[in-house]
């Protein structure tokens, strides 16, 4: 069967179950919100005619020569006309607003529907019926565009081979200048006879040619082509971001040489770019870019900032809303949902979660009941059981740190929309306006928990931005968790108001080096009987709205107290501590200066390189282990109106 025949077969199969809602367009371009603004309103046209009619109506002027009854009639008619005009204007504006917002509303409803058991079950049943209807071989592949709704730029593929074979594919958009995109589905050692996977990497709003390469045990390769015209993206993400080679002149560094995936030098993953959610938006996206800076996947989410992707045994775990995570198979099907208890949600300020050795999710959470009464956010650590989905509260930090909590004021860091100047101790002039920080009293983020990592299954390490400290939590006792260690600035924890509770927990600094300030994104490694290594992004920003009178310039003199890098040469750092739990000391073993980023940002380590992201500039960099920055990816278009929360290199799609 040739490519066109395959395409025709695919289109025909799409029409078999029209009752199932779809997220994708097989061809054409989705209408975006800004395109509705050019659509004229018929009501506005009526308004124009009515307005002109009023001017030319020929109503006689009010005068004493006109009978009172006639004047009253004329006045009533005039008032009626004015009311008609006013109602028409109101109706026209309402119509205009509705038309303008219609795509957003439809998108929200579509995404909400996708992440339901009913939608996923219907889509899976339809796929299973199609799989069983006939034998799908390399000449009759079952190909569907995004049937499960979890990736708008992907194809679902299923076929069988007579003998075990390995599979790879190449995506080419011949009518564009974008480079080809190749991925390995299964290697020679992973040969199989049943092939079910996602093709990612299709270019939006153009014709794509997918070339499948099927190789048998003897090395004989058979190729098949499939042509598909992809619709536009659902979001405003740039299809390509700029990639700068900062190490060599000429083209950007081939990142496969930098061992992002291991010692073999292959790069079979994508950069998951996660901007903060737009103000008042009900949907968000995670964007997957390849090493050439080309958009290869668009993952829709509900009303949450994409936080991180967790990989386990071929499944991909990620938050799709403040109270729900999805477990997604390599085919794109949502296998299950992990739900928070109805009272709890992910911390909206800086959501984060991790996974223990059994696949359970541990997260920083907000208690809705507590928030209603105190406005506290992110003060709970909860665990969701991966097997039965039950949620359990592991720690209530308000209870564990009540004496410190009592010294704080009700406040939190607020981030105005792009373009606002900001004010207060955390604001500054110059630089990007997308991260102009202020102090708000609408919530109480007194601890500022922004990252969670596991030392082992019974010891949790938490990052507290408000205190510029790392807190070790022992949960081995079940219902009686305890804080066993604090790494942070001594002047803060030596306060006589609460020293008796926390001063003895402070670890001793081994060496002379600046304390971290406002750190984020913890990574644990090299855990031994007497300690562990922790690496993190030292934002180097000392700003605590809940302790407005604390003197950070004395506590951490090296830290910046400005959100904008203006009038000072502020830097952030990648810090690595070696923590000795026996001697209760910590020492700085590595420090790498990077671009200043007061909030968010993250790091990711590979075999011989590492990645850093920068919030305000909307960029991410690749570094050698020796500290040389070799490539920069600039997604400034995304960061112009909302900060970049995180960038993570993900093996996507996973192969089981």
| Spatial CB neighbours of 410, under 8 Å, sequence gap ≥ 6 | 374, 375, 441, 443, 444, 546
> What is residue 62's predicted lDDT score, i.e. its pLDDT?
43
Which two tokens mark 56?
A: 């030319």
pLDDT digits (tens, 9 = 90+) for 557-603: 999 988 766 556 789 999 999 999 999 999 999 999 999 998 889 99
Q: Is the pLDDT of residue 97 over 80?
A: no
Question: 3-class SS at 609?
Answer: strand
Going by pLDDT thresholds of 50, 70 and 90, the confidence category of residue 436 is low
Mean pLDDT to the nearest integer, 101-114:
70
pLDDT recorded at residue 270? 94
The shares of helix, strand and coil residues in the chain, as percent rounded to the nearest 5, are: 20, 35, 45
CB count, 10 Å around CB of 167?
A: 23
Contacts for 530 with CB less than 8 Å, ≥ 6 apart = 580, 581, 582, 583
- Residue 14: the pLDDT is 41
**Residue 267 pLDDT exceeds 70:** no
131 burial (CB, 10 Å; 0-12 / 13-18 / 19+) is middle
Q: What DSSP designation does 427 have?
A: -
CB 596 within 8 A of CB 612: no
> Does the pLDDT at position 391 exceed 70?
yes
CA–CA gap between residue 458 and residue 445 (Å, rounded): 25
Range picked from 415-424, 434-443, 500-509 for highest mean pLDDT: 500-509
Q: What is the predicted pLDDT for the residue at 625?
A: 85
Measured CA to CA, the distance from residue 612 to residue 512 in angstroms comes to 25
Dist CA 227 CA 206 (whole Å) = 11
Residue 11 reports pLDDT greater than 70: no
pLDDT band at 506 (very low <50, low <70, confident <90, very high): very high
Residue 344's SS3 state is strand
pLDDT at residue 18 greater than cutoff 90 = no
If you classify domain 3-18+116-230 with CATH, what class do you get?
Answer: mainly beta
Confidence at residue 30, expressed as pLDDT on a 0 to 100 scale: 35
Q: What is the pLDDT of residues 280-315, one digit of tens each?
A: 667 889 999 999 999 999 999 998 888 899 999 889
Q: What angle do CA 59, 65, 70 make, to 5 degrees?
A: 50
Give the Cα separation of 109 and 83 in Å (integer): 36
Helix (H) or strand (E) holding 299: strand 295-301
pLDDT in the model for residue 401: 98
In sequence order, what E strands does 173-283 have? 181-186, 192-200, 206-216, 221-230, 242-245, 270-275
Task: For 21-39, give one letter per residue: b (16+ CB within 10 A) or e.
Answer: ebbbbbeeebeeeeebeee
Q: How far apart are CA 288 and CA 306, in angstroms?
A: 12
Residue pLDDT, tens place only, 36-81: 223 232 222 333 333 333 333 333 344 444 566 666 767 777 777 7
Residue 529, Cβ density class (10 Å: 0-12 exposed, 13-18 middle, ≥19 buried): exposed
Residues 79-84: contacts with CB under 8 Å, at least 24 apart: 81/50, 81/53, 81/54, 81/57, 82/54, 84/50
Bigger pLDDT: 284 or 537? 537
Backbone angles phi and psi of 535, in degrees to 5: -115, 150
Strand partners, 482: 474
**Residue ranges of domains in the chain:** 3-18+116-230, 33-114, 238-301+627-656
pLDDT at 202 over 70: yes
Question: Helix 68-114 to helix 117-133 angle, to the nearest 10 degrees?
Answer: 60
HEC per residue, 31-70:
CCHHHHHHCCCHHHHHHHHHHHHHHCCCCCCCCCCCCHHH
Q: 50-54, 322-326, 578-582, 616-620 — which is least confidently predicted?
A: 50-54
Q: How deeply is 393 buried, as exposed, middle or buried, from its count of CB atoms within 10 A (0-12, 13-18, 19+)?
A: middle
Burial class (CB in 10 A: 0-12, 13-18, 19+), 357: exposed
pLDDT tier for residue 426 given thresholds of 50, 70 and 90: very low
**Confidence band (pLDDT; 50, 70, 90) for 379?**
very high
Residue 399 has pLDDT above 70, yes or no: yes
Q: What are phi and psi of 598, to 5 degrees?
A: -65, -30
Round to whole Å and give the CA distance between 167 and 190.
9
The most distant pair of C-alpha atoms in the chain lies apart, rounded to whole Å, by: 108
Residue 29: pLDDT over 60: no
Q: Which residue has the higher pLDDT, 534 or 368?
A: 534
Stretch 341-357: mean pLDDT: 90
Strand partners, 336: 327
3-state secondary structure 21-33: CCCCCCCCCCCCH
Lowest-confidence pick of 187-196, 463-472, 483-492, 556-565: 556-565
pLDDT score at 639: 61
Average pLDDT in the chain = 82
| pLDDT band of 416, cuts 50, 70, 90 | very low
Whole-number Å distance between alpha carbons of 482 and 399: 10
Q: Is the dihedral of CA 27, 30, 35, 40 positive or negative?
A: positive
pLDDT band at 553 (very low <50, low <70, confident <90, very high): very high
The tens digit of pLDDT for each residue in 207-226 reads 999 999 999 999 999 999 99
Q: Quick one: pLDDT at residue 67?
A: 63
| Alpha-carbon dihedral angle through residues 330, 334, 338, 339, given to the nearest 10 degrees | 150
Residues with Cβ < 8 Å from 336, sequence gap 6 or more?
326, 327, 389
Residue where the block lists tokens 């408000």: 466
Q: In angstroms, rounded to a whole number, what is the distance separating the alpha carbons of residues 593 and 8?
A: 55
Q: Which two tokens stand for residue 317?
A: 């775990």
pLDDT of residue 476: 93
Decide: 202 and 145 in contact? Cβ < 8 Å: no
Whether the pLDDT of residue 552 is over 60: the answer is: yes
Q: How confident is the model at residue 118 (pLDDT cuts 50, 70, 90)?
A: very high
Both tokens of 497, joined, read 């108001």
Say which residues have a Cβ less than 8 Å from residue 214's Cβ, sequence separation at least 6.
138, 161, 165, 166, 167, 221, 222, 223, 224
Order of strands across the sheet that contains 572-580? 508-509, 585-594, 572-580, 531-538, 520-528
DSSP 541: B
- What is the rounded distance in angstroms from the CA atom of residue 299 to the CA atom of residue 520? 25
Residue 31 has pLDDT above 60, yes or no: no
Beta-bridge mates of residue 184: 168
Whole-number CA gyration radius for the chain? 29
Higher pLDDT, 562 or 32: 562
Calculate mean pLDDT across residues 84-91: 65
The DSSP element (H or E) to which 126 belongs, if any, is: helix 117-133
Q: Is the pLDDT of residue 381 over 90?
A: yes
> pLDDT class for 278, splitting at 50, 70, 90?
low
């Amino acid at each position: 069967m040739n490519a066109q025949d395959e395409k025709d077969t695919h289109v025909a199969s799409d029409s078999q179950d029209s009752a199932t809602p779809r997220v994708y367009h097989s061809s054409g371009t989705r209408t975006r919100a800004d395109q509705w603004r050019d659509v004229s309103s018929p009501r506005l046209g009526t308004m124009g005619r009515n307005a002109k009619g009023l001017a030319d109506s020929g109503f006689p002027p009010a005068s004493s020569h006109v009978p009172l009854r006639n004047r009253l009639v004329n006045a009533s008619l005039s008032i009626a006309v004015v009311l008609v005009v006013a109602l028409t204007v109101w109706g026209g504006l309402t119509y205009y607003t509705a038309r303008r917002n219609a795509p957003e509303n439809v998108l929200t409803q579509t995404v909400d529907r996708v992440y339901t058991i009913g939608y996923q079950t219907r889509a899976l049943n339809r796929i299973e019926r199609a799989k069983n209807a006939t034998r799908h071989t390399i000449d009759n592949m079952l190909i569907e565009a995004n049937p499960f709704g979890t990736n708008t730029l992907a194809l679902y593929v299923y076929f069988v081979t007579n003998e075990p074979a390995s599979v790879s594919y190449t995506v080419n958009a011949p009518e564009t200048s974008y480079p080809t995109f190749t991925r390995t589905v299964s290697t020679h050692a992973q040969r199989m006879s049943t092939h079910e996977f996602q093709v990612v990497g299709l270019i939006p709003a153009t014709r794509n040619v997918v070339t499948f390469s099927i190789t048998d045990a003897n090395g004989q390769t058979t190729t098949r082509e499939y042509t598909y015209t992809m619709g536009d993206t659902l979001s405003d993400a740039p299809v390509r971001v700029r990639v700068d080679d900062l190490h060599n002149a000429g083209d950007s560094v081939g990142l496969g040489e930098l061992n992002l995936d291991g010692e073999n030098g292959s790069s079979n993953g994508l950069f998951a770019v996660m901007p903060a959610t737009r103000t008042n938006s009900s949907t968000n996206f995670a964007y997957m870019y390849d090493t050439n800076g080309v958009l290869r996947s668009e993952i829709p989410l509900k009303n949450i900032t994409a936080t991180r992707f967790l990989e386990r045994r071929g499944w991909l775990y990620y938050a799709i809303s403040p109270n729900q995570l999805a477990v997604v198979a390599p085919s794109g099907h949502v296998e299950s949902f992990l739900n928070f208890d109805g009272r709890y949600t992910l911390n909206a300020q800086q959501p984060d979660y991790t996974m223990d050795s059994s696949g359970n999710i541990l997260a920083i959470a907000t208690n809705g009941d507590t928030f209603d009464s105190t406005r506290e956010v992110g003060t709970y650590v909860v665990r969701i059981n991966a097997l039965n989905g039950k949620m359990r509260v592991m720690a209530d930090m308000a209870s564990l740190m009540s004496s410190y909590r009592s010294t704080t004021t009700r406040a939190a860091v607020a981030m105005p929309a792009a373009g606002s100047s900001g004010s207060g101790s955390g604001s500054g002039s110059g630089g990007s306006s997308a991260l102009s920080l202020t102090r708000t009293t609408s919530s109480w983020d007194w601890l500022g928990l922004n990252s969670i990592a596991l030392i082992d299954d019974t010891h949790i390490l938490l990052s507290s931005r408000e205190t510029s400290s790392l807190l070790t939590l022992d949960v081995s006792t079940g219902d009686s968790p305890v804080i066993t260690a604090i790494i942070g600035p001594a002047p803060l924890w030596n306060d006589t108001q609460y020293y008796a509770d926390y001063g003895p927990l402070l670890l001793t600094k081994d060496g002379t080096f600046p304390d971290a300030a406002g750190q984020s994104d913890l990574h644990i490694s090299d855990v031994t009987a007497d300690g562990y290594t922790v690496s993190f992004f030292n934002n180097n920003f000392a700003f605590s709205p809940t302790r407005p009178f604390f003197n950070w310039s004395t506590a951490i003199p090296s830290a910046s107290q400005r959100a904008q890098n203006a009038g000072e040469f502020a830097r952030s750092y990648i810090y690595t501590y070696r923590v000795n739990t026996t001697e209760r000391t910590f020492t700085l073993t590595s420090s790498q200066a990077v671009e200043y980023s007061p909030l968010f940002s993250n790091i990711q380590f590979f075999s011989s390189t590492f990645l850093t992201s920068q919030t305000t500039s909307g960029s991410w960099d690749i570094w050698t282990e020796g500290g040389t920055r070799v490539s920069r990816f600039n997604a400034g278009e995304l960061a112009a109106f909302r900060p970049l929360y995180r960038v993570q290199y993900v093996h996507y799609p996973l192969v089981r």
